[in-house]
Amino acid sequence: MRQARRYARRDTRRLATVTAGALLALTASMGSATSAVAAGAAGGAGVADGPKMPDFRGRGLIHVFSGVDYRTKVEVRDVGGDHRNVLWPLSWKVCAQSPDEGKEIGDRTVRIGVVKNNEKCPKGASV
């Protein structure tokens, strides 16, 4: 029985990893087109300016992956207090982000604080 649970956990982790990888690959292919549209909508930003951070707060986590360049490293964590693993982006919404809206992303890591869709964001949530 113990061994069966161990194999089930391993298979669940493997499935979650494969699912997340497939989702990221899909959003990466959409991300470059979205970044180009966002850059054009920025109103003639200079060539030397890097991409600006959009405001993702209150939106679904999936918008983060499709809204930033696919090469940007994104760190996601549960800010609801339960320290849960974030495996399926469609089930989570953004409460906090770093860098703030309008700041240049550059080579920085984007940090996102999330809670489940049916939960309220905690006051003063930060990443």
| pLDDT at residue 7, rounded to an integer | 58
CA distance 53 to 127: 15
- pTM of the full predicted structure? 0.61
| pLDDT at residue 81, rounded to an integer | 87
**Per-block mean pLDDT, blocks of 10 residues, the chain (127 long):** 60 52 51 47 55 93 92 94 91 95 90 95 88
Look at residues 114, 28, 19 and name the one whose alpha carbon lies nearest to residue 68: 28
CA 6 to chain centre: 29
Tell whether the torsion through CA atoms of 38, 43, 48 and 50 is positive or negative.
negative
| pLDDT at residue 32, rounded to an integer | 46
* Sheet order of strands, 110-116 included: 74-78, 110-116, 92-98
